């Protein structure tokens, strides 16, 4: 029963097609007439073009690909999700700009094609995940975003940490995908439905409940939420820093947003359970970040803590759904706060990991505190970017990070969970401890001996890096455009 | 002009900070740029003081622009304005920054550009705290003023600077994060973050108690009162002289200002309820700060602890809740900024020359360094509260007011005045008089023109306010009367206006 694609279908499909098309084109270039510059240009144009196709989605909600002509669309985009999609594409762009000099040149440029192709496929998976409204698209999205990342994490194959990161991510990721897939199967078996609202059916049998629980675990793993966060530190640290930036900003946004969109279906969990999970994640993430002597690892674990705060937005949402139903003026509040938080965290992470990449080029590839001591003084531009990023991650005013936390806690207090908000706010104090420690190390200590730079000065990467740093400040002062 | 004055006052240092940071100018030129910006800001501050209508109640020079919408809490505004309580603080802050810049070449020897950037950024933050008329905007500036000082202490501070700076930030942050919770609850409950509207509002007493506790904790840490004061001596001792001046002169005033505006004025019912306890805390600060200051061997620590005592007076005056005491509290805030600022500068003068702050290392400076002795005596007498200096007027008003509503506490506070004289004059004796114990003190470099230029106006202000405080008191009167009118209904309800509850441990006679 062939049915023509509607205009809405095309709007959603266009960025995906553009991304994968560009990826295939790069493979063709490599096969027919290898040219490194052309590959880079095609990849960056692919990402920019996809972003251009996402722009119209910022204005309106679009649902497409209604399954079997039925009522349930397989992909749904809202302005907030489209903004997150732009963030994913942007983080791939930043990762590309940062990888241009170090990763693409690695081992004589042998892996350039792989890098660029995977860098295009990965955000396609992120977009699918963000927009997924059906188990098929969710699973497809998660797999399409994960598989390239496994490879990208292990791209520096002479570096044991990189290989370890890839392997660890792959093994645990495959396990999580198993949970996800099996959970979906159980839910389908129990309810006969595969859409996001399947879990909202009135009477859920034990089979569906187990299935939803497994689906939840799969998503929690991808979002690196305690107790499923243990892979995060090793993988973030071992992966090449540009790839880490992509994971921190893009994967986190896709996974957490998917978790949010699928959470109403997981009615097993009352608001308090989400808040407890968030607090646990916040405690675990902060406490383990506090002890790190490596900036990259610290940022990874602080990312876990940020996911904890994001769970508070889920708690507020669950509470809102319970008490007030779905309508009302503030129904979008929790999602608005979540998407703003993800954007703010994304900008700050891109700036932080990007600046770290630039500093690593002068520290012999090391990111431990000893190697980075006083580096911000010697390299003022990455230093300033890192300073803004760390302040935004910590949540100081005039950065987007402050307003992001503020919006989430407003939602939490609005639904009457003041106690949890107080706990969360005081826990973020721990985060100030380690961000300030990092700033002390970068700015206030004497730098060590100068090392030769690993790659020549990279004006392009530095310029690209300024964008997320500037956005962190701009949206900290003027958040209105991002309250989507 | 009136519309644009406050945004200009805020924007000038902010723009100046980035101008210094981004300009390719050399170090000398950077200093000149920063100085020009600071002087222009100070001129605007004076202009504000002069143009302020003493006979007009409420906020003046108001400015409003929409910022962003917060579901459930209306439109967050960039709202600015001054009244009698804040106008003095704004002028004081604007005046102190050029003075700090003037002395900075003496002790800021590295990374000047960054120092100037942070200093001007801090000025913008501090001014913002006093000018903001929106809860969110206030909070933003409150936190913004924190980061620059974190860097200033951490980079240009003394031996133990990193410990001190992290302690300072973490202490302050505990308070501000708790304040954030209170702030959000108030904003959601009233559906607005407009301070002017909230100051007219009668909030639910339960909410008032909660919010007052959240806000007051933050302010009490910032002031700081005993037992939250331990960050202060560390921060002061480690900070460079300029940082100490700003910290004592303005930063701590943010706490006392907050107590009045976001404590008493915004949550009057809770303030009346908690007032006796807070007054007790103030008196504990006076006595404890004085005793600890008495025991200090380090010049800078002594001044730091004297700050704790002086701010105890301000807290006592704020919670005596009558016009006289409130006027005294506001004035004493200004006085403390001027005299303690001068004292920190004077400590810095000695430190730049001898690289020690041990009181025992000095003696007989009156003979070897007479100009210094002259200035130190004036600053000391102002700090002690000798009639004819500014400290006298402030302390007298506070004690007069406090006697009326909290007589026993006022007696104890009066004891603090005596103690203050003991340790400050003791310090003077040890540093200035007696035999010259160290030969190096015979050949101290005379005061540089920049040091004269920095100290002379402060000393002149001490005498001017001491002899003719009317221009300041006129400007605060209506605002303080409005504060009292705000709390009176609740005082009447509690029957507290005439028979205040006795502090614990006091038997009625």
pLDDT, tens only, A21-63: 999 999 999 999 888 889 999 999 999 999 999 999 999 888 8
Amino acid A203: pLDDT: 64
Tell me how far apart the 2 most distant CA atoms of chain A are, in Å. 71
pLDDT band at A115 (very low <50, low <70, confident <90, very high): very high
From A148's Cα to the closest Cα of chain B, the distance in A is 39
Q: Write out the residue range of the structural domain in which residue B369 sits.
A: 2-493
> Is A56 a domain residue?
no
Which has the closest alpha carbon to A361: A458, A438, A246? A458
Q: What is the pLDDT of residues B210-257, one digit of tens each?
A: 999 999 999 999 988 888 889 999 999 999 988 999 999 899 999 999
Contact residues, chain A, for B111 at CB < 8 Å: 377
Max mean pLDDT among A23-27, A439-443, B199-203, B446-450 falls in A23-27
Contact residues, chain A, for B140 at CB < 8 Å: 397-398, 402
Say if the Cβ atoms of A410 and B155 lie within 8 Å. no
> Is B501 a domain residue?
no
Is the CB of A397 inside 8 Å of chain B's CB atoms?
A: yes
> Is A382 a domain residue?
yes
Candidates B68, B190, B217, B221: best to mutate against A (most CBs of A within 10 A) is: B68
Say if the Cβ atoms of A429 and B141 lie within 8 Å. no
> Is A51 a domain residue?
no
For helices B449-467 and B323-354, the axis angle rounded to 10 degrees is: 160
Closest alpha carbon within chain B to A476: B140
Q: Write out the residue range of the structural domain in which residue A405 sits.
A: 269-484
Q: What is the pLDDT of residues A215-246, one digit of tens each?
A: 999 999 999 998 899 999 999 999 999 999 99
Amino acid A476: pLDDT: 87
> Is A420 a domain residue?
yes
Please name the member of A377, A410, A480 whose beta carbon is closest to the beta carbon of B184.
A410
Please name the member of B72, B180, B184 whose beta carbon is closest to the beta carbon of A330.
B72
Closest alpha carbon within chain B to A402: B140
Contact residues, chain B, for A406 at CB < 8 Å: 136, 180, 184
pLDDT band at A267 (very low <50, low <70, confident <90, very high): low
Q: What is the pLDDT of residues A331-342, one digit of tens each?
A: 688 899 999 999
Contact residues, chain B, for A330 at CB < 8 Å: 71-72
Q: How far, in Å, CA of B290 to CA of B302, rounded?
A: 9
| Cβ-proximal residues to B50 (8 Å cutoff; 6+ apart), any chain | none
Amino acid A329: pLDDT: 52
Is the CB of B213 inside 8 Å of chain A's CB atoms?
A: no
For range B36-48, the mean pLDDT: 94
At residue A163's C-alpha, the angle toward residues A160 and A164, to 5°, is: 85
Closest alpha carbon within chain A to B157: A444
Amino acid A324: pLDDT: 59
Contact residues, chain B, for A391 at CB < 8 Å: 147
> Is B504 a domain residue?
no
Contact residues, chain B, for A414 at CB < 8 Å: 72, 188
| Cβ-proximal residues to A358 (8 Å cutoff; 6+ apart), any chain | A98, A379, A381, A382, A458, A461, A462, A465
For range A186-191, the mean pLDDT: 88
For range B42-56, the mean pLDDT: 92
For range A244-250, the mean pLDDT: 95
Does residue B500 carry a pLDDT above 80?
no
Q: How far is CA B208 from CA A245, A259, A426, B485, B493, in A?
A: 45, 37, 21, 17, 16
Closest alpha carbon within chain A to B162: A440
Is the CB of B181 inside 8 Å of chain A's CB atoms?
A: yes
Strand partners, B80: B63, B132
pLDDT band at A5 (very low <50, low <70, confident <90, very high): confident
Say if the Cβ atoms of A437 and B166 lie within 8 Å. yes
Does residue A475 carry a pLDDT above 60?
yes
Which residue do the tokens 């266009």 mark?
A14
Which has the closest alpha carbon to A364: A102, A2, A63? A102
Say if the Cβ atoms of A397 and B144 lie within 8 Å. yes
Burial profile A338-369: b = 16 or more Cβ within 10 angstroms, e = fewer: bbbbbbbbbbbbbbbbbbbbbbbbbbebebeb
Which has the closest alpha carbon to A401: A381, A428, A420? A428
From A478's Cα to the closest Cα of chain B, the distance in A is 7
Is the CB of B177 inside 8 Å of chain A's CB atoms?
A: yes
Amino acid A3: pLDDT: 63
Q: How far, in Å, CA of B465 to CA of B331, rounded?
A: 9
> Is B508 a domain residue?
no
Amino acid B110: pLDDT: 82
Is the CB of A394 inside 8 Å of chain B's CB atoms?
A: no
| Percent of chain A predicted with pLDDT > 90 | 58
pLDDT band at B118 (very low <50, low <70, confident <90, very high): very high
Is the CB of A421 inside 8 Å of chain B's CB atoms?
A: yes
Is the CB of B150 inside 8 Å of chain A's CB atoms?
A: yes
For range B349-376, the mean pLDDT: 88
Amino acid A201: pLDDT: 66
Does residue B4 carry a pLDDT above 90?
no
Q: How far is CA B248 from CA A29, A314, A384, B210, B376, in A?
A: 67, 43, 29, 29, 17
SS3 content of chain A, % helix, strand, coil (to 5): 75, 5, 20
Does residue B41 carry a pLDDT above 80?
yes
Amino acid B509: pLDDT: 39
Say if the Cβ atoms of A421 and B184 lie within 8 Å. yes
Amino acid A255: pLDDT: 94
| Cβ-proximal residues to A90 (8 Å cutoff; 6+ apart), any chain | A51, A249, A346, A350, A467, A468
> Is A430 a domain residue?
yes
Closest alpha carbon within chain B to A395: B143
pLDDT band at B289 (very low <50, low <70, confident <90, very high): very high
Q: Where are the beta strands (DSSP E) in B391-509?
A: none
Return the structure tokens found at A71: 């009522």
Please name the member of A333, A413, A480 whose beta carbon is closest to the beta carbon of B184.
A413
Return the structure tokens found at A152: 């990208």
> Is B7 a domain residue?
yes
For helices B323-354 and B390-405, the axis angle rounded to 10 degrees is: 140
Domain count, chain A: 1
Does residue B506 carry a pLDDT above 70?
no
Which has the closest alpha carbon to B425: B302, B309, B321? B302
Please name the member of A391, A409, A429 whose beta carbon is closest to the beta carbon of B173.
A429
| Percent of chain B predicted with pLDDT > 90 | 53
Q: How far, in Å, CA of B151 to CA of B444, rounded?
A: 31
Candidates B167, B173, B187: best to mutate against A (most CBs of A within 10 A) is: B173
Following DSSP, what letter does each residue of A324-363 receive, concatenated? H-S-STTTTHHHHHHHHHHHHHHHHHHHHHHHHHHHHTTT
**Average pLDDT along chain A:** 89
Closest alpha carbon within chain B to A425: B177
> Is A243 a domain residue?
no
Say if the Cβ atoms of B136 and A426 lie within 8 Å. no
Domain count, chain B: 1
At residue A339's C-alpha, the angle toward residues A260 and B139, to 5°, is: 125
Is the CB of B188 inside 8 Å of chain A's CB atoms?
A: yes
Range from A286-300, B177-191, B244-258 carrying the lowest mean pLDDT = B177-191
| Cβ-proximal residues to A425 (8 Å cutoff; 6+ apart), any chain | A405, A409, B177, B178, B180, B181
At residue B174's C-alpha, the angle toward residues B172 and B178, to 5°, is: 120
pLDDT band at A438 (very low <50, low <70, confident <90, very high): very high
Whether the CB-CB separation of A18 and A49 falls below 8 Å is answered with yes
Does residue B499 carry a pLDDT above 70?
no
Say if the Cβ atoms of A409 and B143 lie within 8 Å. no
Q: How far, in Å, CA of A334 to CA of A379, rounded?
A: 39
Amino acid A1: pLDDT: 41
| Cβ-proximal residues to A29 (8 Å cutoff; 6+ apart), any chain | A35, A38, A39, A42, A113
From A433's Cα to the closest Cα of chain B, the distance in A is 7
ipTM of the complex: 0.78
Say if the Cβ atoms of B174 and A397 lie within 8 Å. no
* Bridging pattern class, strands B60-69 and B75-82: antiparallel
Is the CB of B139 inside 8 Å of chain A's CB atoms?
A: yes
pLDDT band at A268 (very low <50, low <70, confident <90, very high): low
Say if the Cβ atoms of B170 and A444 lie within 8 Å. no
Contact residues, chain B, for A479 at CB < 8 Å: 68
> Is A194 a domain residue?
no
Contact residues, chain A, for B67 at CB < 8 Å: 478, 480
**Average pLDDT along chain B:** 89
> Is A19 a domain residue?
no
Does residue B443 carry a pLDDT above 90?
no
Say if the Cβ atoms of B174 and A426 lie within 8 Å. yes
From A429's Cα to the closest Cα of chain B, the distance in A is 7
Which has the closest alpha carbon to B471: B9, B55, B43? B55
Q: How far, in Å, CA of A412 to CA of A419, rounded?
A: 9
Closest alpha carbon within chain B to A439: B151
Q: What is the pLDDT of residues B150-180, one digit of tens each?
A: 999 988 988 888 899 989 998 998 888 889 8
Does residue B504 carry a pLDDT above 60?
no
């Amino acid at each position: 029963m062939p049915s023509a694609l509607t205009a809405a279908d095309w709007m959603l499909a266009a960025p995906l097609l553009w991304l994968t098309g560009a990826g295939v084109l790069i493979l063709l270039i490599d096969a027919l007439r290898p040219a490194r510059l052309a590959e880079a240009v095609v990849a960056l144009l692919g990402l920019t073009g996809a972003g251009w196709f996402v722009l119209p989605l910022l204005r309106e909600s679009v649902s497409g690909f209604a399954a079997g002509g039925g009522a349930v669309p397989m992909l749904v985009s809202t302005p907030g999700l489209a903004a997150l999609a732009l963030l994913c594409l942007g983080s791939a762009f930043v990762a590309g700009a940062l990888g241009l000099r170090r990763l693409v040149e690695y081992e004589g440029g042998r892996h350039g094609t792989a890098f660029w192709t995977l860098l295009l496929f990965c955000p396609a998976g992120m977009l699918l995940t963000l927009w997924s409204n059906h188990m098929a698209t969710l699973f497809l999205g998660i797999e399409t975003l994960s598989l390239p990342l496994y490879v990208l994490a292990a791209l520096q194959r002479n570096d044991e940490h990189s290989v370890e990161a890839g392997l660890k991510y792959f093994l645990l990721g495959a396990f999580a995908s198993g949970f996800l897939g099996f959970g979906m199967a159980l839910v389908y078996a129990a309810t006969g439905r595969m859409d996001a609202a399947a879990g909202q059916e009135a009477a859920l049998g034990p089979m569906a409940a187990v299935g939803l629980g497994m689906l939840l675990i799969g998503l929690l793993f991808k979002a690196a939420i305690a107790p499923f966060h243990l892979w995060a530190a090793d993988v973030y640290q071992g992966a090449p820093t540009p790839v880490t930036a992509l994971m921190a900003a893009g994967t986190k946004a896709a996974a957490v947003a998917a978790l949010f969109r699928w959470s109403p279906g997981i009615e097993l969990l009352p608001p308090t359970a989400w808040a407890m999970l968030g607090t646990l994640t916040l405690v675990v993430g902060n406490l383990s970040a506090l002890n790190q002597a490596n900036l990259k690892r610290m940022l990874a674990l602080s990312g876990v803590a940020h996911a904890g705060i994001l769970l508070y937005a889920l708690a507020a949402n669950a509470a809102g759904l319970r008490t007030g139903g779905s309508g009302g003026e503030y129904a979008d509040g929790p999602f608005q706060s979540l998407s703003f938080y993800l954007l703010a965290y994304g900008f700050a992470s891109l700036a932080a990991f990007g600046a770290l990449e630039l500093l690593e080029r002068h520290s012999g590839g090391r990111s431990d505190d000893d190697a980075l001591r006083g580096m911000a003084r010697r390299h003022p531009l990455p230093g300033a970017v890192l300073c803004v990023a760390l302040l935004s991650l910590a949540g100081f005013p005039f950065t987007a990070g402050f307003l992001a936390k503020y919006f989430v806690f407003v939602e939490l207090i609005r639904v009457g969970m003041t106690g949890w908000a107080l706990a969360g706010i005081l826990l973020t104090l721990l985060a100030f401890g380690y961000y300030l420690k990092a700033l002390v190390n970068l700015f206030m200590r004497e730098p060590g001996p100068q090392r030769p730079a690993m790659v020549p000065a990279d004006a392009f990467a530095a310029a690209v890096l300024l964008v997320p740093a500037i956005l962190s400040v701009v949206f900290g002062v003027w958040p209105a455009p991002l309250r989507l | 002009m009136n519309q644009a004055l406050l945004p200009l006052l805020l924007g000038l240092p902010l723009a100046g900070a980035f101008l210094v940071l981004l300009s390719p100018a050399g170090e000398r030129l950077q200093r000149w740029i920063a100085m020009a910006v600071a002087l222009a800001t100070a001129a605007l501050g004076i202009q504000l003081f002069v143009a302020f209508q003493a006979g007009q109640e409420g906020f003046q020079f108001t400015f409003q622009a929409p910022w962003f919408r917060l579901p459930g809490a209306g439109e967050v505004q960039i709202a600015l304005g001054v009244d009698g309580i804040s106008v003095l603080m704004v002028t004081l802050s604007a005046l102190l920054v050029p003075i700090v810049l003037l002395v900075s070449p003496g002790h800021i020897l590295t990374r000047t550009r960054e120092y100037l950037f942070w200093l001007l950024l801090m000025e913008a933050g501090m001014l913002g705290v006093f000018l903001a008329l929106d809860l969110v905007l206030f909070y933003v500036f409150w936190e913004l003023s924190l980061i620059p000082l974190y860097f200033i202490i951490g980079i240009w501070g003394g031996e133990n600077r990193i410990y001190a700076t992290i302690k300072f930030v973490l202490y302050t942050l505990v308070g501000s994060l708790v304040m954030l919770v209170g702030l959000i609850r108030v904003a959601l409950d009233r559906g607005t973050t407009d301070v002017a509207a909230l100051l007219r509002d009668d909030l639910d007493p339960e909410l008032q108690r909660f919010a007052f506790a959240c806000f007051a904790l933050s302010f009490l840490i910032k002031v700081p009162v005993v037992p939250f004061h331990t960050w202060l001596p560390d921060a002061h001792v480690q900070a460079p002289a300029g940082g100490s001046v700003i910290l004592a002169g303005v930063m701590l005033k943010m706490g006392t200002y907050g107590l009045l505006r976001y404590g008493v004025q915004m949550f009057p019912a809770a303030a009346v309820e908690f007032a006796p306890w807070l007054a007790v805390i103030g008196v504990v600060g006076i006595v404890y700060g004085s005793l600890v200051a008495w025991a200090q061997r380090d010049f800078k620590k002594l001044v730091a602890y004297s700050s704790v005592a002086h701010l105890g007076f301000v807290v006592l005056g704020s919670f005596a809740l009558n016009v006289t005491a409130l006027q005294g509290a506001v004035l004493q805030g200004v006085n403390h900024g001027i005299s303690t600022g001068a004292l920190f500068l004077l400590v810095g003068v000695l430190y730049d020359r001898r690289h020690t702050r041990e009181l025992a290392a000095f003696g007989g400076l009156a003979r070897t360094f007479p100009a210094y002795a002259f200035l130190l005596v004036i600053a000391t007498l102002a700090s002690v509260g000798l009639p004819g200096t500014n400290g006298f007027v402030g302390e007298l008003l506070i004690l007069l007011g406090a006697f009326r509503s909290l007589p026993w506490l006022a007696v104890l506070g009066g004891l603090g005045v005596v103690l203050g004289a003991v340790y400050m004059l003791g310090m003077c004796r040890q540093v200035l008089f007696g035999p010259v114990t160290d030969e190096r003190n015979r050949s101290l470099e005379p005061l540089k023109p920049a040091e004269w230029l920095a100290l002379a106006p402060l000393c002149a202000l001490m005498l001017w306010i001491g002899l003719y405080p009317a221009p300041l008191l006129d400007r605060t009167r209506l605002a303080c009367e409005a504060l009292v009118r705000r709390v009176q209904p609740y005082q009447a309800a509690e029957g507290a206006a005439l028979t205040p509850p006795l502090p614990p441990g006091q038997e009625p006679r």
